[in-house]
Amino acid sequence: MTRSKRMQPVAQVAESRQQDAARILADRQRALEEQQRRLDQLNEYRGDYASRFEDGQEWIGLNVREYRLFLSRLNEAIEEQAARVERARAELEKSRGHWTQCRVHQDAVGKAMDRFRDEERREEERRDQAESDELGQRGGRNPR
């Protein structure tokens, strides 16, 4: 069995790992986008309520003290969500690093397999040339 054929299972494992890492990376990217979307919504929500209150719109059943308490809780929710965004970003970067490692490994295995195939091809060409030379030296005679 040739070296390139023996390396085929290694290449398949490397490709599988790289694909798994790419799927995880995509999942983490989507998770970050979702967390960021939630943070943006909370910030927009806070901005809307703050501008309404500052514009003097009436808050039925909500006095200034209650409004400040509400805004304080909303700010806490925003801080918590911002922390979630940062955790999601860190997970994304960790996944990106893992994917990069898997990709580099897959590329290295692929290059090794290419090198093995080239060596095998050159060896086959040398054998063919040797056979051709041997036939030429015999003068094309059929040895019987």
Per DSSP, 17 falls in state: H
Residue 111 lies in a domain: yes
Instruction: Please report, in angstroms and rounded to a whole number, the separation of the first and last CA atoms in the chain.
Output: 33
Residue 131 lies in a domain: yes
Domains: count for the chain? 1
Residue 101 lies in a domain: yes
pLDDT on residue 133: 86
Enter the pTM of the model.
Answer: 0.75
Residue 65 lies in a domain: yes
* Gap between the Cα atoms of 89 and 100, Å rounded: 16
Percent of the chain with pLDDT over 90: 69
pLDDT above 70 (res 40): yes
* Gap between the Cα atoms of 142 and 144, Å rounded: 6
CATH classification at residue 130 = 1.10.287.1700
pLDDT on residue 93: 98
Residue 143 lies in a domain: no
Residue 1 lies in a domain: no
Domain of residue 17 covers: 8-137
Closest CA to 31 of 81, 85, 99: 85
Radius of gyration of the chain (CA): 33
C-alpha neighbours within 13 Å on the C-beta side of residue 51: 6
Residue 3 lies in a domain: no
Residue 113 lies in a domain: yes
What is the per-residue pLDDT across 79-95, written as a single tens digit (0 to 9) for each? 999 999 999 999 999 99
What is the per-residue pLDDT across 51-79, written as a single tens digit (0 to 9) for each? 877 766 555 556 778 888 888 999 999 99
SS3 18: helix
C-alpha neighbours within 13 Å on the C-beta side of residue 8: 6
